[in-house]
Amino acid sequence: MTGRLAVGFGQSGTVKVFVLVGGWPASGKTTLARALASELRIAYLSKDEVKEALMDRLGAPTSVEESRRLGGAAVAAVLRAACGCPAAVIDSTWYPYSLPLVRELPGPFVEIHCQVSLNIVRERYRTRKRDHRHLDASRSEDELWDDEVLPLGVGPLLDVDTTEPVDVISLASRIKALVVG
């Protein structure tokens, strides 16, 4: 299979790639990341799933500040777990505090920035079904939407419109091409 790339665990030709999926809350990160990990046949790691597991063991936060702190711990846990993976798709709202932790991963990286209009993402956020312990209803408009969520700048960037369903097979091919060069 000359010229073809197999991405996954334990396969000959496996490439290490960490795909960081980011964007606004409710921009479609989780939906896209799960599908992409499946298509690439690599691990899927989610900050929100780790945060919910922490809440199961430690209890729910009682304030937005506690929720943010727990979210930061979840990001650290996800990135620490990723260090043991040869490749992974990781979804989170990537804030600058996570950059030193991301840089501890061996790479290479491809960043995906989920793009959707602010009006649509606000509506998705308002109507989504999510664990109430995230305290979504307690978060201020300023906290959620005042500062654009920017990519970390650790690898090639793919801006992906998540207004409608994404062609995950094509996106996976684009990622493979970026990693192979």
Q: Is residue 54 part of a domain?
A: yes
How many domains, in total, are found in the chain?
1
8 Å CB contact between 54 and 70: yes
Spatial separation of the C-alpha atoms in residues 90 and 33, rounded to whole Å: 7
Instruction: Say yes or no to pLDDT of 15 above 90.
Output: no
Question: Residue 131: CB partners within 8 Å, gap ≥ 6?
Answer: 52, 55
Instruction: Say yes or no to pLDDT of 3 above 50.
Output: no
Strand-pairing partners, residue 109, are: 18
91-101 per-position pLDDT tens digit: 999 999 999 99
Spatial separation of the C-alpha atoms in residues 153 and 109, rounded to whole Å: 9
Q: Is residue 151 part of a domain?
A: yes
Instruction: Quickly state the pLDDT bin for 181 (edges 50, 70, 90).
Output: low
In the DSSP assignment, the letter for residue 29 is: H
Instruction: Say yes or no to pLDDT of 14 above 80.
Output: no
Q: Is residue 101 part of a domain?
A: yes
Instruction: Quickly state the pLDDT bin for 16 (edges 50, 70, 90).
Output: confident
**Radius of gyration for the alpha carbons in the chain, expressed in angstroms and rounded:** 16
Q: Is residue 5 part of a domain?
A: no
Mean pLDDT across 168-173: 95
Instruction: Quickly state the pLDDT bin for 12 (edges 50, 70, 90).
Output: very low
The pLDDT, as a whole number, for residue 10 is 38
Q: Is residue 72 part of a domain?
A: yes
Spatial separation of the C-alpha atoms in residues 156 and 10, rounded to whole Å: 25
Mean pLDDT across 106-114: 95
Strand-pairing partners, residue 149, are: none
Domain hosting residue 93, numbered range: 18-180
Spatial separation of the C-alpha atoms in residues 114 and 180, rounded to whole Å: 23
Token pair 């500040």 is found at: 65
Token pair 């996800």 is found at: 78
The pLDDT, as a whole number, for residue 7 is 39
> Which domain CATH number covers 30?
3.40.50.300
Q: Is residue 9 part of a domain?
A: no
Spatial separation of the C-alpha atoms in residues 176 and 171, rounded to whole Å: 9
60-108 per-position pLDDT tens digit: 999 999 999 999 999 999 999 999 999 999 999 999 999 999 999 998 9
Structure tokens at 48: 């929100």
